[in-house]
Structure 1
Amino acid sequence: MRLVDVRYLRQMKPTKHRGHFLKSAITIFCLLPFLWTACKPTSKSSDELISAPQIVGEAISFLGDTLLRPEIEVEKFLQNDSLLEEAKAVFLEDSTDLNAIIWYGRRLAYLHRYKEAIDVFTHGILLHPGSPELFRHRGHRYITVRQTQNAIQDLKRGATLAANREMEVEPDGIPNKLDIPLSNLHFNIYYHLGLAYYLQANYAEAITSFQTSMQYANNPDLVVAATYWLYLTYLRTGDQDTAKRLLTNIHPDMEIIENEAYLHQLLLFQTGQSELNESDSSPESTSSETQQYGISCWYEANGRRSEADSIRSMILAEDGWHYFGYIAAEADAARMLAQ
């Protein structure tokens, strides 16, 4: 894989005078021998990925490792970087504007610049301490950088501030295939709060939070997302009967727009051991770390500990450290080492 440094691409961003040189510049630099030595195996083709500056450590993992800013597909980087520049310009025009602060922070996070995003949200909270949106977004990114206690504090504060507000659709920063925003402020607060508690192995509070998020799950996409993590949480408590009852209302005809992976996994859980087998946990058949993580939890709950450990190891060997499934697998591994 040939990689291009984000800093160089930022310098070469299209302008009125040199935008037409960008494509050629990327191609030329992708061929430079010294960049070839920075490569590592990936399923992506050689011209599809760029890497952020490798000196950038965005977080410390639960295992004590420095987590570097992930690689980004060239097309995705260029699109999100352009949107970030627009958000930054609006923010610089008025750095006190709540909406400008929220979008600048969100756009930073989409480019894996999590520490900067947290700083922007913190700036916003100092100016707008009554905004649940800022606590919701900072809480989410505290989860990403493994600061779960900070996340819990933020999300609980966000829940308190949003308590008397009507349910509000949250605009998408990365639109789905139909360009229909699906989530809402209240759901996102309690969903992420449940995740933060889950990562701390505080399953009682995680159950309460996920159950509350279900009250705001006003479409099938949100239902399957909350059900998935609630199911895994009940598995962790040993309450398989309650976990199975959650699957009663899950069916293949649900109209899902973006959370197909969650639905697929819940349907697999319905089938039981006869169909949930090794092939379902292979990288080729599993689309995300979060799906793989769910299978590992199912194996563990059904007495197949070695298979569960194998899948978690497979997850942690990948690069997607910012995905919830990876974060959860990492938290599990850290707890096992501490025992």
Structure 2
Amino acid sequence: MIKYLPSIFCLTILLAGCKENPKPVVIGLDGREFFEPERSPEQQFKLEKELEEARHDFDNDATENNYIWYGRREAYLMHFDKALEIFSEGIERYPESFSLYRHRGHRYITIRKFDMAIADFRTAVKLMDGAPVLSEEDGIPNKLNIPVSTVQFNVWYHLGLAHYLKGEYEDAAKAYETCLTYCDNDDLLIATADWLFITYNRLQRKEDAVAALNKVPEKVTIIENETYLKRLNMYKGLNPPELLLAVEEGSESADLAFATQGYGVGNWYLIQGDTTRAKDVFKRVVEGPYFSAFGFIAAEAELLKLK
């Protein structure tokens, strides 16, 4: 037994070194490294338990849906490379699955590979042509545990976002215009109208931007997109920008809200021609912890353009 002690000792040192020098899960547009965040024991246990259940289902039957959920659960733990590997293997086995392309494209956005995301969403658009609209179950349920989106909506929404993040505003506008046709509830309409409003403003299509705002009625029923509603009300002059920046810290939902609302505020300052205040807000957003949020990624992209 004694002769194995050096090997055991070396392995212990190696594992300790891995914990001390973790691998980044994302490299930001500005070159910063981002790591898997620390979580409460309860949250970590929940995420790992859900992953284990998804892996068990997959091991028992590698269906298209089980590929999707296995990959999604890995991504919720911020194991993005593993999630992409699973989605890619699923696509090899189910090449007609526009849902798998939709989810892989989403995670390409997360790791800032926008061209690869666009390619996946474009493939999904072709594959889903003529297919029935598919409701998409939430991996992180909203407060009422009611799914509000569809696969088709998500393909067009994320395609618009990927083009927007690249500064391809004409293509982004076209994608969001199509996305509107899949908005069958106020949550989807509010989010799409928001991105369409700011995209039209980038294109100096001011009348179209106002028309996008006017697509949202005064009274809406929303389940999960309160942050986008606050942004829209700011554009309409109903909410001061300071209100959107006054987000209580200390929770994952608050971090996401600040990234989303903060990007909206910074973008609003840009529309008003106040570049200095816009940059200040974008910097605050990217100093936050929620590096996978679309608002965070968009703020990174803006700061690179404003250098």
How high is the sequence identity, in percent, across the aligned residues? 36
Partner of 2:52: 85
Partner of 2:42: 75
Letter in 1 for 2:261: Q
- Aligned-residue offset at 1:168: 1.2
Q: Residues 133 and 280 (structure 1 numbering): CA distance in 2 closer, same or farther, change over 3 Å?
A: closer
1:175-219 superposed Cα distances (whole Å, 9 cap, x missing partner): 111111110011000000000000100000000011111110111
Letter in 2 for 1:302: Q
Asked if 1:308 is matched to 2:278, the reply is: yes
- Aligned-residue offset at 1:244: 1.8
Aligned partners of 1:151 and 1:314: how far apart in 2? 27
Aligned partners of 2:244 and 2:59: how far apart in 1? 48
Aligned partners of 2:305 and 2:240: how far apart in 1? 26
Whether the 8 Å contact between 2:160 and 2:173 is mirrored in structure 1 is: yes
Q: Larger deviation: 68-77 or 240-249?
A: 68-77
Aligned partners of 1:313 and 1:218: how far apart in 2? 35
1:104-144 superposed Cα distances (whole Å, 9 cap, x missing partner): 00111111111110010001011111100110000000000
Letter in 2 for 1:58: V
Q: 1:66 aligns with which of 33, 36, 56?
A: 33
Q: 1:158 aligns with which of 124, 148, 170?
A: 124
Asked if 1:107 is matched to 2:73, the reply is: yes
Q: 1:209 aligns with which of 152, 155, 175?
A: 175
Partner of 1:318: 288
- Aligned-residue offset at 1:236: 1.7
Letter in 1 for 2:101: F
What are structure 1's unaligned runs of at least 5 residues?
1-51
Aligned partners of 2:213 and 2:265: how far apart in 1? 15
- Aligned-residue offset at 1:335: 2.7
Question: 1:72 aligns to what SS in structure 2?
Answer: coil
Aligned partners of 2:146 and 2:244: how far apart in 1? 30
Whether the 8 Å contact between 1:182 and 1:219 is mirrored in structure 2 is: yes
- Aligned-residue offset at 1:283: 4.1
Letter in 2 for 1:326: F
1:299-336 superposed Cα distances (whole Å, 9 cap, x missing partner): 11111111101000100111111000000011112233
Q: Residues 236 and 107 (structure 1 numbering): CA distance in 2 closer, same or farther, change over 3 Å?
A: same
Partner of 1:295: 265
- Aligned-residue offset at 1:292: 0.8
Letter in 2 for 1:229: W
Whether the 8 Å contact between 1:244 and 1:270 is mirrored in structure 2 is: no
Letter in 1 for 2:258: S
- Aligned-residue offset at 1:251: 4.1
Letter in 2 for 1:81: E
Q: Larger deviation: 240-249 or 97-106?
A: 240-249
Q: Larger deviation: 245-254 or 86-95?
A: 245-254
Aligned partners of 1:270 and 1:63: how far apart in 2? 32
Q: How does 1:227-242 map to 2 (within 5 A)?
A: 227-242=193-208
Asked if 1:262 is matched to 2:232, the reply is: no
What are structure 2's unaligned runs of at least 5 residues?
1-18
If the length of structure 2 is used for normalisation, what is the TM-score?
Answer: 0.87
More helix by share: 2
Letter in 2 for 1:80: L
Aligned partners of 1:84 and 1:254: how far apart in 2? 35
Asked if 1:281 is matched to 2:248, the reply is: no
Q: Residues 230 and 101 (structure 1 numbering): CA distance in 2 closer, same or farther, change over 3 Å?
A: same
Partner of 1:335: 305
- Aligned-residue offset at 1:284: 4.2
Aligned partners of 1:304 and 1:68: how far apart in 2? 33
Partner of 2:96: 130
Pairwise CA RMSD of aligned residues?
1.9
Asked if 1:139 is matched to 2:105, the reply is: yes
- Aligned-residue offset at 1:252: 4.8
Aligned partners of 2:286 and 2:28: how far apart in 1? 11
If the length of structure 1 is used for normalisation, what is the TM-score?
Answer: 0.79
Aligned partners of 1:169 and 1:271: how far apart in 2? 34
- Aligned-residue offset at 1:83: 0.8
Whether the 8 Å contact between 1:135 and 1:154 is mirrored in structure 2 is: yes
